[in-house]
């Protein structure tokens, strides 16, 4: 059974950096795309970044491009989201997810191909 577990969230100051981690247990991590989503208070969950099975391809929504960096370590079944220059509007619960396929980009990431989800890690950015 596949399980995902996020960690690395916390309370930080605006301008700080964080690295979120996603630990994958179970089979086939290395052959599927991974992604990160976030849900701010009172808002719907939104996609923020994706990465292909090899790590060669990445995609970011415009609002985070340049500040967020997604990566993965297939040998250790880990995915990461490095966030720099944090802003109060980045406050949200951050979730990692595994696709039932490989890479997605653009509107293709807002589909029903996200098969497994973690429980999330809270990131709170104070001004």
The pLDDT assigned to 112 comes to 87
Q: What is the C-alpha separation between 57 and 41, in angstroms, rounded?
A: 30
pLDDT digits (tens, 9 = 90+) for 26-74: 999 999 999 999 999 999 999 999 999 999 999 999 999 999 999 999 9
The pLDDT assigned to 80 comes to 98
HEC string of 9-60 equals CEEEECCCCEEEEEEEECCCHHHCCEEEEEECCCCCCEEEEEECCCCCCEEE
pLDDT digits (tens, 9 = 90+) for 8-23: 999 999 999 999 999 9
Q: Cα dist. 89→53, 93, 115 in Å?
A: 29, 12, 27
The pLDDT assigned to 111 comes to 87
- Mapped onto helix, strand or coil, the DSSP state of residue 124 is strand
Q: What is the C-alpha separation between 4 and 23, in angstroms, rounded?
A: 6
DSSP for residue 101: S
Q: What is the C-alpha separation between 39 and 26, in angstroms, rounded?
A: 26
């Amino acid at each position: 059974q596949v399980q995902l577990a996020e960690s690395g969230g916390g309370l930080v100051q605006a301008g700080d950096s964080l690295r979120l981690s996603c630990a994958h247990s179970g089979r086939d991590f290395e052959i599927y795309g991974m992604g990160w989503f976030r849900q701010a208070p009172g808002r719907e969950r939104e996609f923020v970044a994706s990465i292909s099975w090899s790590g060669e391809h990445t995609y970011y929504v415009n609002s985070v491009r340049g500040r967020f960096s997604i990566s993965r370590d297939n040998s250790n079944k880990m995915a990461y989201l490095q966030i720099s220059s944090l802003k109060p509007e980045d406050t949200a619960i951050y979730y990692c997810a595994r696709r039932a396929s490989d890479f997605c980009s653009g509107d293709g990431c807002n589909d029903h191909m996200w098969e497994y989800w973690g429980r999330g890690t809270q990131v709170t950015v104070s001004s």
